[in-house]
Amino acid sequence: MLLATAICVPVMIHRGAGLRFVSGSWTALAVDVSHGILYRPVVGPMGYGGTRYMPLHFSLHGGLIALTNNAIASGAIVTLLSAIALLSGVYVLLRAYGVPRKWAACGITLALASIASQLAIVTIRGDLLPAALNVWGLALFARRRNDQTVSVLFPTLLFSLAFAAKITTLFGLAACIVYLALQKKYRDGLRMILAAAVGMIAVLVAAYFASGGRIIESMRVCGSGGAGLVDILTAPFKFALFACLDLGFLPFFVATAIVLAARVSELFRELHAHAVLWTLAVTIFIFGSPGIDFNHLLDLHVACVALLTIHMAQGTRPHLATRICAAGGLLASTAIFAVCAIAVRAFPVALHDDRLAAYNAAHDGSGPVLSEDPWVPVMGGETPFLLDPFNLRLACAKDERVQKDLWNRIASHYFSGVVLTPIEDRASGQFDLHGAWLGTTHYGGLHFPPGFIEHLYTHYEPAAHIRCYLVLRPKREITASGL
């Protein structure tokens, strides 16, 4: 399994198959940090900002960009170290429960079995780092079961850092506090609550001053992801849909549910059971926000794998457990090789080459490139003018200044070119500018504000079609009349 990962991940990164526009948004934030800017304004001379991401991951990435001047290599380093931290944390957590070394190694393998895990290790985004910090917090807290002299402050510090990497990573902390309460260790529980509050406030204060207060504006505009009452009410159904589609996650989740139901009274007193329940609750809550994908199943998958591994190690059928672990490892290895094979076939030329070609076709030096995929200007050596087209739609809806600025820049041909990644109709080979994803119109419903395509085509026209990229340049006749 680990061999499959070691072989396939470099191929995926080289082809660029895992580095989609979301990873480009994370990287654009890191590029800003490398230039000394944390949380750019929602609208300003630098372009369009706005994000709901917490700063730890992209700050580390940005620091490495400043040292290496290579966005992809530095991001891959952060991803690799985060993956190592996550897997080693799973191992330490399992060993804290007395799981034999061989089975703990199997637990590491199974932690990579889901689509969420595989997507996380072949991209650059902030999922692995908070998951790793959370697991290490649980692991250190679990070790405390055998040594009551161990302070709760160390795991709390890790939980606070996990919060600094992802604002919803609070389930490990909640599980520990509830566990202490059920053990009637109220003093330790109160100490942990106070320490966590201090840690999280310190994170927010540091981010506030480092960003000049811009984190408040960013979270105000983008924090909810545009979620409404309908999104919140349908969150369990969206979670169920993605859970069923992730065939590497579903068997472990179902098995965990069966184990919890069969041993509810016994497991209710165990930390790992609380970790699963709290992670499940927060994960379902997260799916109430639009734009959610498989990556948010990562923490729950790891929690389920840990519980099942502990349960099997403490059971009476080791041969069955070994077979299950072996089957899971084979499944994960096969899945990673299959994904890599698809990437090689789907991207016979590295996607980075397409991005550079799209940038060159859009850029003539007269102005910045407005790209739906932030990787395009990054590959061209330009700081992305747009961080995230999803968040730009939210910003335009909440602040009319942003949409007015966008319309004015388009009308005045401020951008030397515009690069889009619309849905392609494979039958005709043409782009579908009015296509939908999960029932939501792509342009106007997910990316960019409503009316964007119509306004864009009034002032720009298609100039090049480079595989998945559509490049538009200012209309010649309008430019000539303007001169």
Least confident of 43-57, 91-105, 342-356: 342-356
Q: Which of 291, 318, 346 is the last residue of a domain?
A: 346
Question: Would you tell me how many other CB atoms lie within 10 Å of the CB of residue 382?
Answer: 15
Identify whether 15 is part of a domain. no
Q: What domain range includes position 240?
A: 57-346
Identify whether 322 is part of a domain. yes
Round to whole Å and give the CA distance between 422 and 430: 10
Which one, of 81, 91, 68, 75, lies nearest residue 18 by Cα?
Answer: 75
Query: Are 252 and 307 within one domain?
Result: yes
Round to whole Å and give the CA distance between 172 and 311: 19
Identify whether 16 is part of a domain. no
Most confident of 37-41, 254-258, 446-450: 37-41
Reported as a single tens digit per residue, the pLDDT across 106-146 is 888 888 888 888 888 888 899 999 999 999 999 999 987 66
Query: Are 365 and 334 within one domain?
Result: no
Query: Are 203 and 246 within one domain?
Result: yes
Query: Are 364 and 410 within one domain?
Result: yes
- Residue keyed to tokens 């290496």: 68
- Residue keyed to tokens 């680990």: 2
Report the share of the chain in percent with pLDDT over 70.
Answer: 83
Helix, strand, or coil here: 142?
helix
DSSP string, 145-190: TT-TTS-SHHHHHHHHHHHHH-TT--HHHHHHHHHHHHTT-HHHHH
pLDDT at 436: 64
Query: Are 475 and 357 within one domain?
Result: yes
Query: Are 335 and 360 within one domain?
Result: no
Number of domains the chain is built from = 2
Name the E strands within 22-89.
43-44, 47-48
Reported as a single tens digit per residue, the pLDDT across 278-329 is 999 999 999 988 877 888 999 999 999 999 888 888 764 555 555 555 555 5
Q: Cα dist. 479→273, 364, 413, 457 in Å?
A: 65, 14, 8, 14
Identify whether 4 is part of a domain. no
Query: Are 358 and 319 within one domain?
Result: no
Q: Which of 300, 327, 346 is the last residue of a domain?
A: 346
| Mean pLDDT over each residue of the chain, to the nearest integer | 85
pLDDT at 122: 80
